[in-house]
Amino acid sequence: MLLSTFYDAQLEIRCPCCGGRALWEEPFAFRSAKKVPEAERARMVRWGGWLVLEKFPSVIRWTPPRHGAGYWYHGMGVVRCWTCYAVVLHCLRWPEDALFQWSVRGVTLYAWDAEHARVLLHYIGATLRDPTLYGEWYRKGLQRLPTGVMKGHARERLAGQIAATLRAHGLPLGPPPRASPAPAK
Ligand SMILES: [Zn+2]
């Protein structure tokens, strides 16, 4: 995944406090000052032509970079845990922090979140696999899945592992939310 795609992203990770299921999120959202309605500006911080939304002001406040420098992603974000309810600052180590990860035949696969895990499960388990069914966000990743894990027994084991992980967290196995409806016959 390109770092730029993290900016508005939410990732499911292992909680740094308890190891449970937690959400990691970028702490700031950037919007063009021209595009934000007047009523919403009061809760945002002006930074040049941008307005910065502090998503977790009690955890981390916006500090503008020194004059002339841009904002650079450092992996710093906020974790909210569904298990121990911690809300803490955490520097992301991806993919090591990933909650959803599976190893088959020496290959480790990662999912960004439960929806991504469901997309992988659906795709890997399908007889006729079409990587374009789940939207552009997932297409490239599906096309690049190592062929070694997509054959016979390895494929079945991988699908079994993904399903077991989702079940262990009490999450539904499907359907993948972004899958297009089946074409009419
Ligand atoms: Zn926790």
Distance 78 CA to ligand 1 centre (A): 12
Residue 115: partners with Cβ closer than 8 Å, 6 or more residues away? 176, 177, 178
Distance 129 CA to ligand 1 centre (A): 36
Q: Are residues 124 and 61 in the same domain?
A: no
Domain that holds residue 46: 3-91
Residue 65 located in a structural domain? yes
pLDDT at 184: 53
Burial of 35 (0-12, 13-18, 19+ CB in 10 A): exposed
Distance 77 CA to ligand 1 centre (A): 15
Residue 77 located in a structural domain? yes
In this prediction the pTM is 0.83
Distance 110 CA to ligand 1 centre (A): 20
Which of 68, 91, 114 is the last residue before a domain boundary?
A: 91
- pLDDT in single tens digits along all 185 residues of the chain: 333 344 466 899 999 999 999 999 999 988 888 888 888 888 899 988 889 999 999 999 998 888 777 777 678 899 999 999 999 999 999 999 999 999 998 999 999 999 999 999 999 998 889 999 998 889 999 999 999 899 889 999 999 999 999 999 999 998 876 655 555 54
Which of 91, 119, 149 is the last residue before a domain boundary?
A: 91
pLDDT at 137: 86
Q: Are residues 14 and 70 in the same domain?
A: yes
Distance 12 CA to ligand 1 centre (A): 12
Distance 169 CA to ligand 1 centre (A): 13
Residue 141 located in a structural domain? yes
**How many domains does the chain contain in total?**
2
